[in-house]
Structure 1
C-alpha cells in the first residue's frame, strides 16, 4: 500500500519503536491514529509531530489499554470513524530473567499484552477491515518469536504465539482484501531494555538496531506487502536454522546462559556449618 493511502491505527505509539514508526509514516504521507495508555504522552507526541511539519488532520490519538475489552471496543469505533485501513500491532511489554525469578503476575501480563490482546483487538477490527477494498494488519514481533534464548522464555512464548497467530491468520484470509504481515526486529536500542538486558546484550555481543531502522523496515513492509521480514545478521540466518533443525543451535547459547542474572534465592557463599 502507498503510504499516502494509509490510515494507520498504531498501538504502542509512545514507545521507542512506536515514536519512530509514527514519524516515518507521517513523513511518507500516512495519516495516524496513535494509541497508548497515557493521554499526556499521546497529546505531547501528537503536538510534536504537528510541530515537525505534519498537518493536524493527519494526526489523531486515543487513550486506550488494549488489555481492556471496553477499550478495544472504543478502538474499533475510532477505527471505523477515521476509516483506518492499516493496523500496526506494536504494543508490548518485556520479560527477562530466569523463569524461577519472574513474578507470576508479570508472566500473566506479558502473555496478555503481547499475545492475547492483539488477537482480541484483531477480532474486533476484522469485520470492518474485511469490508474494505484493501487493508493490512502488521504484527510487530521479534526474532525471539522464532529463536528461544535463555532468559527470554516468557517473552519468547508471547512472540512465538504472535508469530503463529499472524501466520495462521494470513493463510486464513488469503484471497481476501486483508493482508497479514509480521516483522521480527532483533534487539533495539530503546527504553524497552532495562539495565539487566543491556548488560546481557553487552556480555553476549548482541547487536542492536536503532528504532529508526526498525521503523524504516515497517514502512517498507507496508509498501512491498511482504508476508514476513526478520531484521539483522546473523539473526536472519539463525531464524532459518532454528526453523529447520533447532537442536543444532542448542549448544550455541552457553555464553547467554552464563550471562543471566543469578537467581535471587541462590546464595553462592558456602553453606553455614559445612567445610569449604
Structure 2
C-alpha cells in the first residue's frame, strides 16, 4: 500500500517503537489514529506530531481506551470503521521476564491476554470493515522471540509464538481477499519496555539492542511492500531460520543465557489490571474518548 493512502490505527502508540513508528508514518504522509490508555499523553503526542511533522490537524487523531477491558475493543473498532481505517497495527503489549518459578499467575495471564488475546479480538472486530475495502493490511508487531525461545522469556515467547501463529493462519485464511496480514519480529530494542533485569541479562549475554527507529523503519517498509514476515538483526535472523529447520539444534547454545538469569524469587502478588502502556491509571471503559486536534 502507498503510505500516503494509509489510514493507520496504531495500538500502543506511546511506547518506544510506537512513538518512533507513528512519527515516521506521519512524516511519510500517512494519517494515524493513536490508541493508548492516557488521554493526556495521547493528546500531547498528537499535538507534537502535528507540530513537528508539519501536517494538517486531521492527519493525527487519538482514541483513549484500556485494551485490557474487552468491552473497550468494540468501541475502538466502531470508531476506526467510521474513521476509514485501512491499516491496523498491533503494537501494544507488556513484557514478561524471569524464571518460570518466579512469575506470578496474574503476571502470566496479563502477558498472554494483552500480547495475544487482545490482538485476536480487535482483529476479529475490525475484519468485517477491512474485508469491504479495496486494499487493507493488518500488521502484528511481535518479536524475534516469536520464533526463537530463550531462557527467561518462556511466557513472553509463548505470547509471541502464539501471535505469529495467529498471523500465519490468518494470512492463509484471508489469502483470497484483499486483506494482507503481516508479522514484524524486532530483536531486543532499547526502550523503556525493558526492565533493569533485562538490561543486565542482555549485557551479560552480549545481546545487541536496536534503537526504536530500526523497528520503525522496518514497519514502514512492510506497509509499502506487503511482505508477509520480517525478522530483524544478525545473528537473530540466522537463528530464527535454523530454529525453524531444526528446533533442537540450538538447545546447547544458551548455557550463558541460563546462567545469566536472576535467581528464583517468590512470585509477587499482582492484581490483573493490565494495559498497553505503563502510564498511570487506565481510562474507564465508559469514558472512552475520540479526539481530533
Could you say which structure has the larger radius of gyration? 1
When structure 1 is superposed on structure 2, of 165-174 and 37-46 the one drifting more is 37-46
Unaligned runs of 5+ in 2: 267-293
Indicate if the aligned counterparts of 2:100 and 2:154 stay in contact, CA closer than 8 A: yes
How is 1:1-276 mapped onto 2 (pairs within 5 angstroms)?
A: 1-52=1-52, 53-264=54-265
Shift of 1:68: 1.9
What SS does structure 1 have at the residue aligned with 2:140?
Answer: strand
Q: Following TM superposition, where does structure 1 have runs of at least 4 consecutive aligned residues deviating by more than 4 angstroms?
A: none
- Measured against aligned partners, the alpha-carbon deviations of 1:35-67 in whole angstroms (never above 9, x if no partner) come to 001111111100111110222110000001222
Matched residues in 2 for 1:54 and 1:75: separation?
24
Matched residues in 1 for 2:69 and 2:173: separation?
26
Matched residues in 2 for 1:66 and 1:178: separation?
23
- Measured against aligned partners, the alpha-carbon deviations of 1:88-139 in whole angstroms (never above 9, x if no partner) come to 0000000000000011101000000000000000000000100000100000
Indicate if the aligned counterparts of 1:190 and 1:211 stay in contact, CA closer than 8 A: yes
Indicate if the aligned counterparts of 2:101 and 2:265 stay in contact, CA closer than 8 A: no
- Measured against aligned partners, the alpha-carbon deviations of 1:184-230 in whole angstroms (never above 9, x if no partner) come to 00000000001000000000000011101100000000001100000
Matched residues in 1 for 2:186 and 2:56: separation?
30
What SS does structure 1 have at the residue aligned with 2:230?
Answer: strand
Shift of 1:70: 2.1
Indicate if the aligned counterparts of 2:86 and 2:136 stay in contact, CA closer than 8 A: yes
Indicate if the aligned counterparts of 2:182 and 2:227 stay in contact, CA closer than 8 A: yes
What SS does structure 2 have at the residue aligned with 1:67?
Answer: coil
Matched residues in 2 for 1:137 and 1:68: separation?
21
Unaligned runs of 5+ in 1: 266-276
Matched residues in 2 for 1:130 and 1:80: separation?
11
Size of the aligned set, in residue pairs, is 265
Note the aligned Cα RMSD (angstroms): 0.7
Matched residues in 2 for 1:178 and 1:67: separation?
26
TM-score of the aligned structures, taking structure 1 as reference length: 0.95
The residue aligned with 1:273 is: none
Indicate if the aligned counterparts of 1:66 and 1:121 stay in contact, CA closer than 8 A: no
